[in-house]
């Protein structure tokens, strides 16, 4: 029985002991017991027995369950203990972890703005949360730092800077990779040993750096900046500039760390050196310059003055440096200031003359040239003034001015003198020339005629000299002008040749003019000046030629290299004495003559070629010379032939041969050149035999032969040669042209088809009109009595000789005249009897001069009729003609006059072109 049941039964049965329970029960339950003697006792006993059994069973089961439970409790308790122990240790560990987390959080939170967890939050979770937030913050900080480092890196790279960092605990200095690039080592961030760095630095610079570092470390100054020369890996030197300051100090203030940057300034240094060298150069140039130079800033303050300036303004101020004194002294007056302001405002240079007074009171005339100093953007930063001391030039200019005025006065006096002299010389010469020309028209025996001729030629020579001297003085005074008019070239050539032909033929020299095929027939030029030049050259050619010929030619000139403009070349060629090469360039100088002995022989002033040279230059050409002693000379000049007519073009005839038979090569070739333009062949023969031989050998296809003969005087010989030539021509058609001697009046020789009188112009060879059987074709003379006869002339002239001369000349041409002895008388005569056809008016007269008289006559005219007034004057200077025209006169005849000149003038003014006749006598 279960003990609990037993105990419960004991207590229920109130038994003394436990053992009694069972005994009791047994007894009770026994059949023999008193209790067991009732009726129900068996059933009750059964029920009790089953109850006790079931209770017992329940207790037993309970017992087992309890046991089981106890056992399982035992087991749980051990586990619980174990777990408890483990939990406890875990808790300890957790607490430790939380402590260390807290400690870590505290440490980490030191640089964070996050609030530390409070004591009640000191659990793992809040700490972890705190740390997570801290970690997040830290990540953000790291990425910000990385970004900023990256930016720093980029900034360093871009700025070409390197950063260094030196922790004093070490002898190594950290440099970022740019430094490696500077010194040419492998490009990376690296640390460098202090000693090694120092060894590759110029010792003096290393020393300067260590002094600077020491000062900063000791706190003498906050930072340093040092420039050092550091050796590059490749051996050359770099210029580095380093800045640094203490970045960490310990609590005692001792420097712990130095940080800074370094830059490669080699290029800057190089530039600085170059700039310094340039500045040095500039300084040297400035100081070497003899001209004073000032450099000012934009306010006009002098920044720099060179030594020449110092020297100029401090001259005589012994002991003073001059520099400061000079630049601050009042010598810089308001005028300079004004120009300074102008230059600064306008940015344009300025020049002016001024006067400055040095401290020693010395005055200078200066020329100041100011220029703005500008930046690239045009901003004016200052002014440079260059001062030229022109005191000396001023003085000289003053003297020159005075000298010029004196010279001008002298020149005026000279011109006046020349004009006077010219007048004075011309007046008596007028008498000589005029009277000689009158005398020539009277009956004279041969001796008297010779005397008159000599008289005339001497007077002509005198006139030529006076004209030359006047011309050269006009040229020297720059008073010679040239006109532009239409000039007929052939007329001019012929005019000049005609003028000199008598002189040439008298000397036994041939003379001809040659208008070469292709030469422009007309040009725009100054007719009189051209004539003057050609006349001068021809006159020389004849003078310096003893035998042979003189040719005056015009041909198409070669165009200048850079233009296709037309030109004409005039040449005067002679076969005379020639000029030695060394003398050739001098003959164009005034008063120069090639050969004294020749001059003595030939005479002359040495002015002719100088005048010709200047005249040709004025006409736009230049006079040249080809010559050799004994070979003759060729003077030539080329003039522009703008607007010239084009020359007629000839067509050569295939079957015509031309032959020139002439002894003078110069003339023969001019004739041949002319003939060649219209024939298949043009030959030259020197004499009859040569001509016959050449005709015989002419090709058969040349059916016509044109022969031009310039023969001597032997008529019979000429005729026989002509017939020989015709024979040699063997049936071909032959035309023979003979150049007749000057003045030859004879009938043409037999066999001659055509005669041309000398002096010949080659262009006449093709002129039908010159064909003539009479030799007189070329002789030009004029009836002395022309349409001017019986016309009335008023002579106003004070000089008695001239009165007589002009009167005699007018009588020669059967004209009537009245004489007035001065201008007033002339005007009175005109007023009283206005029936004059022409007035010859002297210019310089007492009482009233010719100019006033002419003006008065013009005033008196009623406008229906204008009497021609011709100035008759010894004034031959430039401008005289203009003065006469301005006074109302119509024309101008400079003295000395001769009959021919006077006749020309009378014809021009008294015979209208229709009635003007100049019959060529004998033009039959
Ligand atoms: P001049 O009045 O003396 O002739 P020019 O100036 O005309 O002065 O000439 C200067 C010099 O040139 C002459 O003196 C002469 O020696 C020389 N001369 C000029 N033309 C010729 C020439 N055709 N032949 C030789 N010599 C000449």
User: What is the CA(509)–ligand 1 centre distance, in A?
Assistant: 18
> Band of the pLDDT at 762, cuts 50, 70, 90?
very high
Nearest to 259 by CA among 277, 246, 271: 246
Distance, CA of 613 to chain centre: 33
Asked whether the predicted pLDDT for residue 644 surpasses 80, the reply is: no
Residues 860/830, Cβ–Cβ less than 8 Å:
yes
> Band of the pLDDT at 449, cuts 50, 70, 90?
confident
Residues with CB under 6 A from ligand 1: 540-541, 544, 574, 576-579, 587, 593-595, 598-599, 604-610, 633
Our mutation pick for probing the ligand 1 site, out of 469, 471, 537, 544, counting the most ligand atoms within 8 A of Cβ, is 544
Enter the DSSP assignment of 115.
Answer: P
Our mutation pick for probing the ligand 1 site, out of 608, 611, 627, counting the most ligand atoms within 8 A of Cβ, is 608
Q: Which atom of ligand 1 is nearest to the CA of 592?
A: 10
Instruction: Give the Cα separation of 557 and 619 in Å (integer).
Output: 15
The stretch 614-637 carries a mean pLDDT of 93
Our mutation pick for probing the ligand 1 site, out of 552, 585, 609, counting the most ligand atoms within 8 A of Cβ, is 609
Backbone φ and ψ of 132, nearest 5°: -60, -45
SS3 content of the chain, % helix, strand, coil (to 5): 50, 20, 30
The stretch 322-349 carries a mean pLDDT of 68
> Band of the pLDDT at 920, cuts 50, 70, 90?
very low
User: What is the CA(532)–ligand 1 centre distance, in A?
Assistant: 15
Residues 367/390, Cβ–Cβ less than 8 Å:
yes
pLDDT top residue among 782 and 87: 87
Instruction: Give the Cα separation of 71 and 68 in Å (integer).
Output: 5
Residues 896/433, Cβ–Cβ less than 8 Å:
yes
What order of strands is seen across the sheet that includes strand 172-175? 190-193, 172-175, 161-167, 255-264, 237-249, 223-231
Residue indicated by tokens 């010779």: 450
User: What is the CA(519)–ligand 1 centre distance, in A?
Assistant: 27
pLDDT top residue among 921 and 541: 541
At 67, is the secondary structure helix, strand, or coil?
helix
Question: Residues 60-87: pLDDT tens digits?
Answer: 888 788 888 888 888 888 888 888 888 8
User: What is the CA(574)–ligand 1 centre distance, in A?
Assistant: 12
Asked whether the predicted pLDDT for residue 96 surpasses 50, the reply is: yes
Nearest to 490 by CA among 239, 231, 249, 765: 765
User: What is the CA(533)–ligand 1 centre distance, in A?
Assistant: 13
Asked whether the predicted pLDDT for residue 322 surpasses 80, the reply is: no
Q: Which atom of ligand 1 is nearest to the CA of 635?
A: 23
User: What is the CA(497)–ligand 1 centre distance, in A?
Assistant: 18
Asked whether the predicted pLDDT for residue 537 surpasses 90, the reply is: yes
Nearest to 209 by CA among 194, 192, 231, 224: 224
User: What is the CA(62)–ligand 1 centre distance, in A?
Assistant: 180
Our mutation pick for probing the ligand 1 site, out of 547, 606, 614, 634, counting the most ligand atoms within 8 A of Cβ, is 606
Structure tokens that stand for 662 in this block:
């002439």
Q: Which atom of ligand 1 is nearest to the CA of 604?
A: 2
> Band of the pLDDT at 6, cuts 50, 70, 90?
confident
- Which pairs with CB-CB distance under 8 Å and at least 24 residues apart come from 157-164? 159/263, 160/263, 160/264, 161/261, 161/262, 161/263, 162/261, 162/262, 162/263, 163/259, 163/260, 163/261, 163/262, 164/242, 164/244, 164/259, 164/260, 164/261, 164/262
The stretch 819-824 carries a mean pLDDT of 91
Residues 6 or more apart whose CB falls under 8 angstroms from that of 163 comprise: 152, 156, 175, 176, 178, 259, 260, 261, 262
Q: Which atom of ligand 1 is nearest to the CA of 541?
A: 23
Q: Average per-residue pLDDT in the chain?
A: 82
* Residue located nearest, by CA, to atom 17 of ligand 1: 594
38-47, 198-207, 665-674, range with the lowest pLDDT:
38-47
Please count the other Cβ atoms lying within 10 Å of the Cβ belonging to residue 752. 20
* Residue located nearest, by CA, to atom 14 of ligand 1: 593
User: What is the CA(629)–ligand 1 centre distance, in A?
Assistant: 13
Asked whether the predicted pLDDT for residue 605 surpasses 80, the reply is: no
Instruction: Give the Cα separation of 300 and 807 in Å (integer).
Output: 85
Enter the DSSP assignment of 630.
Answer: T
User: What is the CA(432)–ligand 1 centre distance, in A?
Assistant: 28
pLDDT top residue among 773 and 109: 109
Instruction: Give the Cα separation of 558 and 344 in Å (integer).
Output: 57
Share of the chain above pLDDT 70, in %: 87
User: What is the CA(568)–ligand 1 centre distance, in A?
Assistant: 24
* Residue located nearest, by CA, to atom 25 of ligand 1: 578
Helix axes 688-696, 715-728, angle to 10 degrees: 10
> Band of the pLDDT at 671, cuts 50, 70, 90?
very high
Position 871 scores a pLDDT of 92
Across the strands, what pairs with 161?
A: 263
Instruction: Give the Cα separation of 587 and 635 in Å (integer).
Output: 11
User: What is the CA(569)–ligand 1 centre distance, in A?
Assistant: 20
User: What is the CA(540)–ligand 1 centre distance, in A?
Assistant: 6
Asked whether the predicted pLDDT for residue 397 surpasses 80, the reply is: yes
User: What is the CA(602)–ligand 1 centre distance, in A?
Assistant: 9
Structure tokens that stand for 224 in this block:
């340093």
> Band of the pLDDT at 57, cuts 50, 70, 90?
confident
Residues 675/663, Cβ–Cβ less than 8 Å:
no
* Residue located nearest, by CA, to atom 21 of ligand 1: 540
Q: Burial of 709 by CB count in 10 Å (0-12 exposed, 13-18 middle, 19+ buried)? A: buried
- Between the CA of residue 600 and those of 594, 596, 603, what are the distances in Å? 11, 6, 5
Position 321 scores a pLDDT of 39
Position 231 scores a pLDDT of 93
Asked whether the predicted pLDDT for residue 914 surpasses 60, the reply is: no
In sequence order, what E strands does 401-525 have? 485-488, 509-515, 522-525
Position 320 scores a pLDDT of 38
Angle CA 581–586–590, to nearest 5: 155
Our mutation pick for probing the ligand 1 site, out of 580, 588, 604, 605, counting the most ligand atoms within 8 A of Cβ, is 604
Give the torsion through C-alpha atoms of 594, 597, 601, 602, to 10 deg: 10
Nearest to 175 by CA among 183, 195, 389, 572: 183
Nearest to 775 by CA among 738, 736, 740, 735: 740
User: What is the CA(900)–ligand 1 centre distance, in A?
Assistant: 29
Nearest to 356 by CA among 305, 383, 322, 391: 391
At 662, is the secondary structure helix, strand, or coil?
coil
* Residue located nearest, by CA, to atom 2 of ligand 1: 604
Instruction: Give the Cα separation of 758 and 662 in Å (integer).
Output: 13
At 558, is the secondary structure helix, strand, or coil?
coil
Select, from the ranges 315-319, 561-565, 711-715, 894-898, the one with the highest average predicted confidence (pLDDT).
Answer: 894-898
Residues 6 or more apart whose CB falls under 8 angstroms from that of 923 comprise: 777
Position 447 scores a pLDDT of 79
Question: Residues 785-812: pLDDT tens digits?
Answer: 456 667 899 999 988 878 888 888 888 8
Residues 747/718, Cβ–Cβ less than 8 Å:
no
Our mutation pick for probing the ligand 1 site, out of 587, 598, 634, counting the most ligand atoms within 8 A of Cβ, is 587
Position 853 scores a pLDDT of 94
Handedness of CA 403, 406, 409, 413 (dihedral sign): negative
Nearest to 166 by CA among 179, 154, 176, 175: 175
Asked whether the predicted pLDDT for residue 770 surpasses 50, the reply is: no
Position 310 scores a pLDDT of 81
Asked whether the predicted pLDDT for residue 564 surpasses 70, the reply is: no
Position 427 scores a pLDDT of 75
Question: Residues 869-904: pLDDT tens digits?
Answer: 999 877 666 567 788 899 999 998 887 787 888 888
Our mutation pick for probing the ligand 1 site, out of 461, 475, 500, 593, counting the most ligand atoms within 8 A of Cβ, is 593
pLDDT top residue among 524 and 93: 524
Q: Which atom of ligand 1 is nearest to the CA of 605?
A: 2
Asked whether the predicted pLDDT for residue 665 surpasses 90, the reply is: yes
User: What is the CA(858)–ligand 1 centre distance, in A?
Assistant: 48
Which strand (E) or helix (H) includes residue 807? helix 800-812
Asked whether the predicted pLDDT for residue 171 surpasses 90, the reply is: no
Instruction: Give the Cα separation of 56 and 389 in Å (integer).
Output: 155
At 792, is the secondary structure helix, strand, or coil?
strand
Structure tokens that stand for 622 in this block:
């230049």
> Band of the pLDDT at 442, cuts 50, 70, 90?
confident
Instruction: Give the Cα separation of 576 and 351 in Å (integer).
Output: 62
Position 923 scores a pLDDT of 28
């Amino acid at each position: 029985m279960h003990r609990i049941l037993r105990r419960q039964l004991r207590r229920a049965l109130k038994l003394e002991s436990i053992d009694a329970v069972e005994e009791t029960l047994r007894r009770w339950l026994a059949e023999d017991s008193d209790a067991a003697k009732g009726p129900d006792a068996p059933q009750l006993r059964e029920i009790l027995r089953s109850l006790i059994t079931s209770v017992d069973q329940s207790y037993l089961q309970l017992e087992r369950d309890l046991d089981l439970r106890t056992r399982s409790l035992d087991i749980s308790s051990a586990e619980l203990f174990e777990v408890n122990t483990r939990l406890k240790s875990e808790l300890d560990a957790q607490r430790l972890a939380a402590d260390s987390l807290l400690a870590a959080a505290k440490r980490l939170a030191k640089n964070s703005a996050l609030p530390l967890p409070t004591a009640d939050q000191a659990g793992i979770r809040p700490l972890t949360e705190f740390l997570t937030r801290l970690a997040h913050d830290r990540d953000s900080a790291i990425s910000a730092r990385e970004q900023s480092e990256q930016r720093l890196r980029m900034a360093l790279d871009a700025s070409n800077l390197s950063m260094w960092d030196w922790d004093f605990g070490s002898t190594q200095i950290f440099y970022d990779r740019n430094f490696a690039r500077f010194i040419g080592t492998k490009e990376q961030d690296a640390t460098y040993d202090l000693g090694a760095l120092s060894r590759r630095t110029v010792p003096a610079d290393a020393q300067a750096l260590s002094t600077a570092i020491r000062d900063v470390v000791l706190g003498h100054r906050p930072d340093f900046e040092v420039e050092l020369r550091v050796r590059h890996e490749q051996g050359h030197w770099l210029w580095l500039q380093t800045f640094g300051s203490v970045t960490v100090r310990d609590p005692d203030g001792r420097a712990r760390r130095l940080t800074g940057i370094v830059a490669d300034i080699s290029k800057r240094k190089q530039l600085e050196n170059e700039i310094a060298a340039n500045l040095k150069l500039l300084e040297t140039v400035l100081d070497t310059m003899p001209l004073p130079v000032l450099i000012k800033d934009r306010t006009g303050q002098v920044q720099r003055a060179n030594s020449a300036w110092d020297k100029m303004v401090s001259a005589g101020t012994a002991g003073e440096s001059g520099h400061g004194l000079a630049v601050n002294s009042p010598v810089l007056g308001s005028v300079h200031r004004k120009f300074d302001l102008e230059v600064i405002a306008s940015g344009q240079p300025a020049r002016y003359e001024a006067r400055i007074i040095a401290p020693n009171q010395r005055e200078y005339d200066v020329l100041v040239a100011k220029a703005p100093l500008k930046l690239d953007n045009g901003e004016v930063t200052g002014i440079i003034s260059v001062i030229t001391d022109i005191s000396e030039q001023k003085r000289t200019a003053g003297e020159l001015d005075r000298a010029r005025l004196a010279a001008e006065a002298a020149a005026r006096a000279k011109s006046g003198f020349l004009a006077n002299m010219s007048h004075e010389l011309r007046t008596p010469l007028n008498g000589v020339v005029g009277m000689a020309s009158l005398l020539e028209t009277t009956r004279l025996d041969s001796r008297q005629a010779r005397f008159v001729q000599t008289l005339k030629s001497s007077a002509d020579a005198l006139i030529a000299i006076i004209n030359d001297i006047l011309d050269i003085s006009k040229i020297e005074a720059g008073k010679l002008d040239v006109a532009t008019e239409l000039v007929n070239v052939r007329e001019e050539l012929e005019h000049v040749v005609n003028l000199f032909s008598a002189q040439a033929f008298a000397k036994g020299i041939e003379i001809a003019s040659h208008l070469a095929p292709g030469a422009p027939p007309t040009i725009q030029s100054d007719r009189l000046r051209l004539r003057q030049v050609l006349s001068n050259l021809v006159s020389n050619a004849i003078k310096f030629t003893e035998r042979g010929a003189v040719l005056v030619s015009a041909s198409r000139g070669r165009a200048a290299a850079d233009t296709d403009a037309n030109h004409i070349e005039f040449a005067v060629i002679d076969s005379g004495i020639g000029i030695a090469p060394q003398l050739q360039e001098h003959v164009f100088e005034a008063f120069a003559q090639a050969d004294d002995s020749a001059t003595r022989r030939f005479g002359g002033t040495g002015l002719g070629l100088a005048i010709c040279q200047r005249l040709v230059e004025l006409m736009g050409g230049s006079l040249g010379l080809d010559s050799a002693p004994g070979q003759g000379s060729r003077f030539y000049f080329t003039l522009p032939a703008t607007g010239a007519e084009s020359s007629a073009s000839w067509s050569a005839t295939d079957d015509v041969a031309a032959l020139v038979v002439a002894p003078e090569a110069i003339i023969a070739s001019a004739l041949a050149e002319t003939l060649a333009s219209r024939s298949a062949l043009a030959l030259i023969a020197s004499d009859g035999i040569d001509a016959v031989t050449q005709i015989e050998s002419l090709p058969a296809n040349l059916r016509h032969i044109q022969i031009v003969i310039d023969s001597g005087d032997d008529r019979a010989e000429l005729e026989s040669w002509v017939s020989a030539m015709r024979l040699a021509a063997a049936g071909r058609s032959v035309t023979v042209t003979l150049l007749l001697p000057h003045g030859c009046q004879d009938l043409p020789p037999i066999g001659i088809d055509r005669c041309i009188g000398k002096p010949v112009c080659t262009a006449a060879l093709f002129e039908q009109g010159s064909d003539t059987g009479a030799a007189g074709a070329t002789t030009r003379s004029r009836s002395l009595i022309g349409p001017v006869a019986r016309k009335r002339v008023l002579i106003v002239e004070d000089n008695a000789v001239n009165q007589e001369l002009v009167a005699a000349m007018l009588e020669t041409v059967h004209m009537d005249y009245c004489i007035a002895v001065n201008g007033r008388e002339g005007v009175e005569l005109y007023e009283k009897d206005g029936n004059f056809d022409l007035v010859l008016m002297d210019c310089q007269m007492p009482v009233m001069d010719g100019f006033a008289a002419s003006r008065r006559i013009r005033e008196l005219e009623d406008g229906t009729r204008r009497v021609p007034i011709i100035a008759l004057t010894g004034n031959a200077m430039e401008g005289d003609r203009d003065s006469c025209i301005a006074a109302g006169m119509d024309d101008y005849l400079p003295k000395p006059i001769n009959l021919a000149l006077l006749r020309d003038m009378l014809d021009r003014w008294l015979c209208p072109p229709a009635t003007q006749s100049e019959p060529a006598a004998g033009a039959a």
